[in-house]
Structure 1
Amino acid sequence: MDDISTAGLLIALGLLIALSAFFSSTETAMMSLNRYRLRHLSQQGHRGAKRANELLERPDRLIGLILIGNNLVNIFASAIATVLGLRLFGDWGLAISTGGLTLVILIFAEVTPKTLAALYPEKLAFPNSVVLKPLMTLFYPFVWLVNLVSNNLLKLVGVAPSTSGDDDLSADELRSVLNEASAMIPRRHREMLVSILDLEKVTVEDIMVPRHDLYAIDINDDFKAMMKQLTHSPHSKVLLYRDNIDDVVGFLHMSDLLRLMTREGGITDKAMVLREVREIYYVPEGTPLNVQLLKFQRAKERLGLVVDEYGDIQGLVSLEDILEEIVGDFTTGLQPAVSDEINRQEDGSFEVDASINIRDMNREMNWQFPTDGPKTLNGLVLETLEEIPETHTTVTIGQYKIEVLDANESMVTTVKVEPVAK
């Protein structure tokens, strides 16, 4: 380098530092790319995304190429800086050039370009991939040799570097992605997608109409009384039973009843009604909603009775109930609204019907009562106190103070809920 002028060496050093910055920023940009967005853009025909995606299919080769290039330019830069240091500073040149070059590379070839690449990965990775593709072809023998040695070392510790990492998302990870999507996905759409993921955490007992609230008719009642109940039914399907609700007969569709009533002669006896009864579809308790949704679809059913391990009826679940878990209350429904069971008092507390479903209450009031135990507020109070409480008994559950306003011999009927100030 004795024949090269100092100015020429300075220009060469500047170019090498620029190349070092290129390799450093490219490495960070390529590794910071969102793989899912990259695949989407690639499928849409984006050329830069296609090139980057091809390079990232073998990250070991990509990293090998970048590091070979970066180390080569840094070594050459070190050599030139040493020559310049000796020329300009004599015996102190080696120390000055080493310290100065380290500072320059750290600022201009490492920290600054990598920070920029981390902030704007696509703006750097896509155009820089134009240079990386031919460089991969040019330096392939060196990259292959370096990867051969490094990959064999990795295999010794049980790592297979020939394939990229597993990019599959778990349900919890996908839930986090949706929650962080902010303005990219409308809030209502995010809520629906998260609700679909949450179906596996909710069972049919959480949303069923409990046994004691079922609208059912005893077919052993007087014929006229039974017909009056049927014609005044608020439901499109009615459950029929004999004497005890555990001895169910089946469901009667109101459309079938209307057809019988409008034909010539009308309905003359119970036998005509019973011939129209349809079979019961049973649902085991503990069935997750995502599983039951598929079962309803395969069986082409919309309604089922939830039974426990002994075959006793626990409640009723419908396809509409499951869909409302996803999209919210899209109809007025035939059950009373949650807000009818919660009344705000002047002192800021809430008078609540203790038979309310805890999940419905939490969703309506944005409360945080535990849902992994009893399904109703009455059950939660009884489980906490371990006895049937007297009126004005007070208990604190989580961050809520609950006072029993009314109770009978078997259950709590009305409570006052007051959030406790933190």
Structure 2
Amino acid sequence: MDISTFDNFDLLIVIILLILILLSAFFSSSETSLMAINQIKLDNAEEKGSISAKRVNSLRAKITEVLGVILIGNNLVNISASALLTYYIISKFGDQYVWAGTLILTIVVIIFAEIAPKNYATKQPESIAYPASRPLEILTNIIGWFAKILTSIGNLITGTNSDENYFSQNLNRDELKSVLQKDTEQVDEDEMIALKSLLELNELTVEDILIPIQEVISININDENIKSIPEKDIFFPVFDETSQDILGFIHSKEADQLQALGSSAKDILISPYYVPESTSLFAQLKQFQKTGNEIGMVVDEYGNFTGIVTLEDLIEQIIGRLNQEEKDPSMLINDDLSVTADGSTTIRELNTYMSWDLPEDGQKTISGLITDELDMIPTANICITLGSYKLETLGIEDNLIKEVKVSRVSEDSTDII
């Protein structure tokens, strides 16, 4: 064995082997990048006019065929490298050193043609997939038919079908919400919350956000001395005491005109608009948009008036309170991190306000949660522990729980005090 001489033939073999290893790295990294690239980012890049992104999407649309082409190319260059090195070792040193060449080539291929390029492609898929898309497109056009034949044979052996394109499946609502749960530095946190809230509009109903009838301030059109109206930018239902019918709605800024107008007061009222309490918030938002209404009377399945819902309530459900400087009057955080809230406060509002997880699948309000747990309306203040939360009534009036103090405790039990 003579290794002292290194002629042009040796140099040619080394160059060819390096080229084959680079080609193997190209095929390995291309395969990984096509599988790892983010579809949402890819679609966004294509919409912005990226030709490379469009090519990558085209390749992913026929991923089975493309993977077949990549496997053909990768195996071809790896086998060629092995055969060339074996021929070179036998001709140069004899067949007793073939095992050494095989071992060295295996280590080189694993490190430089598999692990390193695939790791890089996993972390930077766009930097590999975009430039690789053009040669892969050409190769697919040339030998794609052969890859299809080999894939069909493989499918016959395994009894599988590779026609499905796994990258074109649409996300359902739950999957999209999971995507929005991911932290990202590119999207503002408030925007993420608004997007998630928007997706939840179909899961919530008008009943979840209505203003209960007990809290609705209404105006008697026949009242000669209309009491002072709160200075708020809201609507009030106007009723006829004689018939107890709701005649319509009036804005707080126009309420003082009712007495002056007398019998023609009905002309300035907004006609009643009835909303079933089972209507989804998304459907109701579309209805407000279609009809131009900003307020609706909520009725139950028997036609009974149960409260009102406004366009403002729906918008706040998506983006939060419109007047951030105005504190929520129904909830107050105490020094011990407990919350004093109106009994009519919804459990969902409290959970959102405090990032808690009180059960929302049953009763809608805090008072409803307490009465449901007790199976009765308490006649005196009471304290219960529900799971990891303590609920203490602070005021009961006319069979209604007016105020509740809610705090988080460590134990997981249900006790009544």
Q: TM-score, normalised by structure 2?
A: 0.85
Q: Paired residue for 1:79?
A: 83
2:321 corresponds, among 317, 329, 352, to: 329
The CA distance in 1 between the partners of 2:145 and 2:270, in whole Å, is 74
Q: Which amino acid aligns with 2:304?
A: D
Instruction: Return closer, same or farther for 1:10/1:137 CA change in 2, 3 Å cut-off.
Output: same
Kindly state the Cα deviation for residue 311 of structure 1 after the two structures are TM-superposed: 0.4
Q: Deviations over 1:254-308 (max 9, x none)?
A: 66666777xxxx43x4x32234444211110121111100011112211111101
Query: Shift of residue 380 of structure 1?
Result: 0.7
Q: Which amino acid aligns with 1:160?
A: D
The 3-state SS of whatever aligns with 1:298 is helix
Shift of 1:218: 3.2
Over residues 361-387 of structure 1, what are the superposed CA-to-partner deviations in whole Å (9 max), with x where a residue is unaligned? 223333322222222211111111222
Provide Cα deviations, 1:57-98, integer angstroms capped at 9, x if missing partner. Answer: 321221122111111111112212333444566454343343
Could you tell me which residue of structure 2 aligns to residue 313 of structure 1?
305
Contact preservation (8 Å) 1:342, 1:353 = no
CA distance in 1, matches of 2:395, 2:250: 37
Aligned CA RMSD, in angstroms, stands at: 3.2
The separation in 2 between residues aligned to 1:217 and 1:339, in whole angstroms, is: 22
Cα offset, 1:209, TM superposition: 0.8
Structure 2 equivalent of residue 407 of structure 1: 396
Partner of residue 300 from structure 1, selected from 289, 292, 307: 292
Cα distance, 1:256–1:11 mapped onto 2, change above 3 Å: closer
Q: Which amino acid aligns with 1:376?
A: T
**What is residue 338 of structure 1 aligned with on the other side?**
328
Change over 3 Å in CA distance of 1:14–1:274 after alignment to 2 = closer
1:224 aligns with 2:233: no
Q: Does 1:420 align with 2:409?
A: yes
Correspondence for 2:196: 194
| Residue 112 of structure 1, aligned match among 116, 139, 164 | 116
Amino acid aligned to 1:314? T
The answer to whether structure 1 residue 30 and structure 2 residue 34 are counterparts is yes
Look up the match of 1:44. Answer: 48
Question: How many Å apart are 1:186 and its aligned residue?
Answer: 1.4
Please point out which of 353, 362, 373 is paired with 1:384: 373
Whether the aligned pair in 1 keeps the contact of 2:210 and 2:308 (CA below 8 Å) is yes
Summarize the Cα distance change of 1:237–1:350 in structure 2 as closer, same or farther, 3 Å threshold: closer
- The residue aligned with 1:172 is 174
TM score, norm. by length of structure 1: 0.84
Tell me how far 1:208 sits from its aligned partner. Answer: 1.0
Structure 1 residues 158 and 348: CA distance shift in structure 2, 3 A: closer
Aligned to 2:245: 247
Cα distance change of structure 1 residues 303 and 55 upon mapping to structure 2, 3 Å threshold:
same
- Which stretch shifts more, 300-309 or 395-404? 395-404
Q: Aligned pair 1:160/2:176, yes or no?
A: no
Q: What does residue 355 of structure 1 align with?
A: 344
Note closer, same or farther for the CA distance 1:203–1:404 as it changes in structure 2 (3 Å cut). Answer: same
Whether the aligned pair in 2 keeps the contact of 1:246 and 1:312 (CA below 8 Å) is: no
* More divergent stretch after superposition (273-282 vs 208-217): 273-282
How many angstroms apart in 2 are the aligned matches of 1:33 and 1:57?
13
Q: Is 1:338–1:360's contact at 8 Å kept on the other side of the alignment?
A: no
* One of 265, 282, 290 as aligned partner of 1:273: 265
Paired amino acid for 1:73: V
Please, which runs of 5 or more residues in structure 2 have no aligned partner? 1-6, 412-417
SS at match of 1:421: strand
Query: In 2, Cα distance between the equivalents of 1:27 and 1:320?
Result: 51
- Confirm or deny: 8 A CA contact 1:303 1:318 kept in the other structure: yes
How many angstroms apart in 1 are the aligned matches of 2:249 and 2:316? 22
SS of the counterpart of 1:184? coil
The count of residues paired between Structure 1 and Structure 2 equals 405
C-alpha deviation, 1:391, in angstroms: 4.4
